[in-house]
Amino acid sequence: MPASAWTGYGRFCPLARALDVVGERWTLVIVQELLKRPSRYGELTHRLPGIGSTVLADRLRKLESAGVVERIPGPVGGGVLYALTDRGRGLSEALEALRRWGVAYLTDPTADGATSHEFDIHYVEGIEALEDAEYGLVLDGAPSTLRFSRGHLEHTPGSPANPAVTVHTTSDFMDQWAAGTASWEDGRASGEVRLEGPDHLWDSWLAATGDLYALR
């Protein structure tokens, strides 16, 4: 990244330089998507519906210039994929820390105009073996759907048509779970979490929700 691109925080500081590279709106969200897998441009626009094509192109160009992203050949006849370099993958721990830190600010799911919640679960060990499925969550009596597909779990209002399992719980318990002071198993033991469906699918629920820090 050329020196002319530095924004001039007036500090010769690694944090200032890091913010020059990844501090713009959407940049870290793009990095998070690419941590899952290399992606075509069209895939990124599909998975990031709120980003405009001009902004996405600009952020990818800047990330390439900074050595965070590179273009690699896709499958035969598949065009070009955007992928993280070793330097880009080095952001994984920082993003993990930011996601955990951001839980406290997830108080109003509609504040930014979102119509659904998407939770990144690609860090869960063995997630690639989890089959696509729908799960039901009834929180304080209000039903919602958790739809797992290709490494994403999307949370939308309303009951699923054919859930693998449905879990009933309360906001109080979810606050404890998001804070890390209670586990799903703790909730079942205390009666604050109730499973509706085959008991052997409980493991699937645990796998699908293992990295959702703020589902509340």
Distance CA 131, CA 24 (A): 35
pLDDT at 41: 92
Beta strand 194-196 pairing with 142-149: unpaired
pLDDT at 130: 53
pLDDT tens-digit profile of 33-62? 898 888 889 889 988 878 999 999 999 999
pLDDT at 215: 39
pLDDT at 193: 92
Domain ranges of the chain: 3-105, 117-209
Residue stretches of the chain with pLDDT short of 70? 1-8, 77-78, 103-131, 150-153, 178-179, 207-216
Distance CA 55, CA 69 (A): 16
In CATH, 3-105 is 1.10.10.10: yes
Cα dist from 27 to 60, 62, 70, 106, 128, whole Å:
8, 9, 15, 20, 25
Q: At a CB cut-off of 8 Å and minimum separation 6, what does 113 contact? A: none
Quote the distance between the C-alpha of residue 79 and its chain's center. 26
Q: For the residues of 69-107, what is the DSSP string, one character each?
A: EEEEE-STT--EEEEE-HHHHTTHHHHHHHHHHHGGG-S
pLDDT tens-digit profile of 171-186? 788 777 766 778 888 9
Cα dist from 103 to 98, 100, 177, 211, whole Å:
9, 6, 11, 12
CATH classification for the domain delimited by 117-209, as one of 3.40.50.150, 3.50.50.60, 3.30.1050.10, 3.40.228.10: 3.30.1050.10
pLDDT at 5: 57
